[in-house]
Structure 1
Amino acid sequence: MAAASSCGRLRLMFFTLHFFAVIGTGSTVAQVPLLIWSNEGLPGLASSPAGHITSNEQLAGFLDAAFGSGTHTVLLFLQDQLSKDDFTVFAGVFGNKQDSVLQNLEAALQSSSSSVTLPALEWSHSTSVASLLEEKLGVSPAVVDADTLSQLNIDVSVSNLLIISLPYCTDLQKSCRDVLRDNDDIIGKVLTTMEVKNVPYTAMYTGAKPSQVIPEPSAMSQHAGRLLLQAVEPDVKPPVMFNVSGGPCIMLWAQNLNVSFSATPQWLDLATETPSLAGSRCNSTNSLLVLSYPSGVTLRFAMSQRFYPVSARNWFTLDSVQLQSNGSTASFTGSRGIYAPAEYSFHCQTVSSFRDALLVPTTNNQTTTDWRLNFIDFQIQGFGLANGTDFSYASDCAGFFTPGIWMGLISSLLMLLVFVYGLHMIMQLNTMDRFDDPKGPSISVPQSE
């Protein structure tokens, strides 16, 4: 999600999503809002239907895409309690700019290069944003405040997780509005210190637990009949994205990444696992995406681009796909049918190595002869992603003359031939050029007794 163009965008966003979350969900679990902004750039996040609650698995996938490579400095503003109602009731996000108590927060969202807003993030006692960040960054968190941060020497050559604790208005003499205003001043002071130090950072603002939990209604109060015109949108997992210092470099998405290691296929869907992108790299001519999965399987997608004088443009090809498991490697060539203009992405409903194969096996090792790949709803792009976080226009593998179109054309041609033949026969019919003369002698037939 791009950075907000005005401070009022935060107000409108929370109003819309809060309103539809209240009227559009029959049951609600504990949830906290999460605001993320950065001066380095963030990956894109697929839009969700109104009332959608972001799961911890979806957040983990987003953090993998955001912090999958390189070093990062993350500021986590962790308030003791926080819910959407704190923005709508106490923070004044629906009033004028002068009435809002989150002016520093709104200014940070406006001035950041990119930002992501999750109004409803699933919360439980066993999981937290801090523990997810600690796992993804691979560092221990450091609890700091606005005063000690100015004296802290931040080493940008390694990843840093800095937690700034913020109070809530429970059991305090101040009102919730005054507490949120003080917290906003702390956020502004910390961000100013980071700008003075000239340290690139990614900031997050969320709650350690929700301040309000809407109880789940009982089954008796829920409507048990058929709901007409009900649109249920399935959750869409985010694409796998490899980032470099300049922004996103490689993107891959698939509904299923099925692999098999035996002659009688027993498929393993790697799309259900979260991969590590260690070893991936890219430049202007070659890209390598390495997906290492917890199950011990590794997929390597090697792509290249070059200029073709005939078409007067650059084209990229998926040169090879390597499947590694238990020390063995099977290679598949994809350059015969997996290609697209360099500024496009490639998409295909089915990419397999055994049926209408776009991936041709090149390994003669007997151990890997029976290994198979079958990718469903597959899309990949290895170039031209520097200025965006979404796939470019897709070049699809399906040709224009599909089998159905050929059947229709041939059937239409046969019917046309029958029609032309019948019309030709009708045009060959001639009328009689003479008739019987009624004045001529009649024919007599003698009768014998």
Structure 2
Amino acid sequence: MQQEGAEKCVDFDDLAKVIIFRQNLMVASETVEPWLAAQVEEYVQNALNDPDGEIGIIFYRAIVSKNAIQGKQEIDIDFHLISQKRFGDEEKNKLKTSYLNRLMLSSNNIVTLKSERVIEIVKEEKREPVFHHVDSEEVPGYSKINGGNFITKFFHYWLIIPPVQWRFFDLVYQLYTFDIMHFGFVSKFVHFFTIPANVIFSMSFLAQFSIFGNSSEELFMLNASTIFLLFLSIMYMTASFVWRCWEWGVATSAVLFVCWMGGNMWYWTFMVEGNSWYNPTYLWANPIIWSYLASIVQAGSHMCSPQLPPYITGVDHWESLPAFFCQKSTSAEQFVKRLCFRFMAILSYPTLSTAVSWFSWPHLIGIEVFYILGGIGFKPKFFQDLLRVAEKEERSGNAGLHITHVRPSDVIDSCTPFKSESYQLLGNEICTIDMPVDKD
């Protein structure tokens, strides 16, 4: 097996496969005592979450099974690798010398390592980021939407992740949610065009509101678009100094300035004296119409993602497009409720979803700039750590939407050890331990 460090970037061809690293543990007794099951659970969680920073984030799931063979017990642990290219002999040795040794010592040599091998299974030519097995009996409903009253439930249904709209200074949270909510190439690609377009058209609309100077011949002019440009530039520069990446603040301010200049040029080119932009003479030059078109294209790009987020489908987990639109109902209640949520989703697309795509650009334009900077080598360690956590969440089967980060180092700390109350080692049963999912 090719030996490569845990810091190597993911090869996306590798992500088309499900890669399993199997450890086979031999138990020198006829039964697995509860204390021993707890020790095995602790080992699995340590390997998944790497709380001591020994091996890095290289697994996204662990499946534990127990078999009885000739009066002895065998425990198979199938660790699902994010990428085989990030798991070499060095990482395997670190796993054994740290977390596995603890298990061996704590079990007083009752457990011995029988074998280890990497099993590579080709799953599909194009990997879907989220593997969630839909329960055909599940009934969507109002109670599945987060919130204690109608207003909070409405905002969760409409905005999916309401806090992202006001947690402007939480850079990691903004980057994480942007990655989680835009699976695949098409959605991100479309956003990288429609977000700047919305900035330009919004600036063009705001340019009509003059503070002083309302003629292109005047030397000094100040309008609402200039005020908004200064406000956003101050906000991004402040955030960049908080996160110690002032280059990002400068780059974002420069992009905003170019978009502001383009918006004002649009305004002064197509304006008609005495007519406002919301009642223009030239309808085809109205920035409101163009902003709506850019926003509806941006909202529609989410349909190219393989999964729909919670709440919009009436369930509390991600659901595939075919499951949401084409799944056959098994009961009258399920048929009626799923039909209602389908109707609301279709109705929301040109209205609520398009509105979100428009008014989200002030906090998305900076995240887009950071992604571009990250792609050309800006803050590589920070950016790679963030993408790996997002990738691990996506592949966990039900990515968390409300994970809170405070410092850049918390990107890794988001995968804190997860305690499963239902974890057991029972004969002829398989227990799956996935990434922790925030149900907030």
TM-score for both structures, normalised by structure 1 = 0.25
Greater helix content: 2
Greater strand content: 1
Higher relative contact order structure (alpha carbons within 8 Å, sequence separation ≥ 6) = 2
| The structure with more radius of gyration | 1
TM-score for both structures, normalised by structure 2 = 0.25
